Amino acid sequence: MKKNRILIIEDNRVLRDGIASMLNEQADMHVVATIGTGNNVLLKVNQTKPHVILMDVGLKNFKETSVVETVRKNIPEAKVIGMGFVPTQSDIVEFVEAGAAGFILKDATVKEFIGTIRSVAQGENVLPPSLIGSLFSHVIENALKKGKGKLTNAVIMTKREREIIALIADGQSNKEIAQQLNIATHTVKSHVHNIMEKLALHTRLQIAKFSHDENH
C-alpha cells in the first residue's frame, strides 16, 4: 500500500506529537517530519519530499501564506493543508488564494481530519463542511477579483453535480434530469440544493448563468 508522506508544521509540541501519533496509526500514512516553525520549510520539504504538508495558521512571527506560495511554486507536487482552531474567513481565504489545497479545524473529528488528508492527497480541494455556507461566496468573490481562475477552482463539485448544472443550463426540469440520468426526482432535488449551497446561489436561473460564465 502506498503511504502518504506527511510533514507537520505546528508550534504546539503536544498537539504536534499528538497529530503525528494519530496519523502514523493509519496504514496509508507516514509522518516524515514534524517542525515547530515555518523557518527552513523548503529545506525540510526537499529533504523529506512529503505528499501533504499540515501547517498551523497561528505560527508566531511568521507569514504562513508566503510559505504556501513558495511551496506551491517550487514543489507543486506537495499539497498544503492549513490548520486552525477558530480561523477567520480572511485566514482561510488567504490560504486558498495562496495555493493551499485544504483547510481543517483542529477540533475536527479524527474521521474528518484523516478524510481531509486523504482527499487532498488524491488531488481534491477540501474545506470544513461547517464553514462552506458562509465561506464559499467570500472565497469565490475574492478569487475572481484577483484573477485566480474560474469559480470551479474554488468550489468542490462532484461529477454528478456538474452533470446536473449542465442540464439545468439546457433548461431541463428536475423530472427531465431524473429521467435522463436514470435517478429519482428527489435525488435531483437534493443535488440542486447542494449545488446552490456550494455556490451561494438561490435560483436555477443563477445556476444556469454560472454554467454559462464557466464555459465562456
What's the CATH number where 181 sits? 1.10.10.10
Q: How would you write the pLDDT of the chain (216 residues) with one tens digit per residue?
A: 789 999 998 888 999 999 999 999 999 999 999 988 766 777 888 889 999 999 888 765 556 677 788 888 888 888 999 888 766 666 777 777 788 888 888 788 888 899 999 988 988 878 776 665 555 555 555 555 555 444 444 566 788 988 999 898 888 889 999 999 999 988 999 888 888 877 777 777 778 777 776 665
Choose one of 113, 145, 177: the last residue of a domain: 145
C-alpha cell at position 64: 504562513
Q: Assign residue 58 the CATH number of its domain.
A: 3.40.50.2300
Task: Tell me: do 164 and 116 sit in the same domain.
Answer: no
Q: Please tell me the distance from the alpha carbon of residue 176 to that of residue 182, in angstroms, as a whole number.
A: 10
Judge if 116 and 14 occupy the same domain.
yes
Last residue of a domain, one of 145, 165, 189: 145
pTM of the model as a whole: 0.61
Cβ within 8 Å of residue 149, ≥6 positions away? 143
Domain that holds residue 28: 4-145
Residue 31 half-sphere exposure toward CB, CA atoms < 13 A = 18
In-domain check, residue 115? yes
User: 67 and 35 in one domain?
Assistant: yes
| Any domain includes 152 | no
**How many structural domains does the chain have?**
2
Pick the closest to residue 55 from 26, 98, 89, 115 (CA basis).
98
| Predicted local distance difference test score (pLDDT) of residue 143 | 54
The H or E element that residue 175 is part of is helix 174-181
Q: Are residues 141 and 175 in the same domain?
A: no
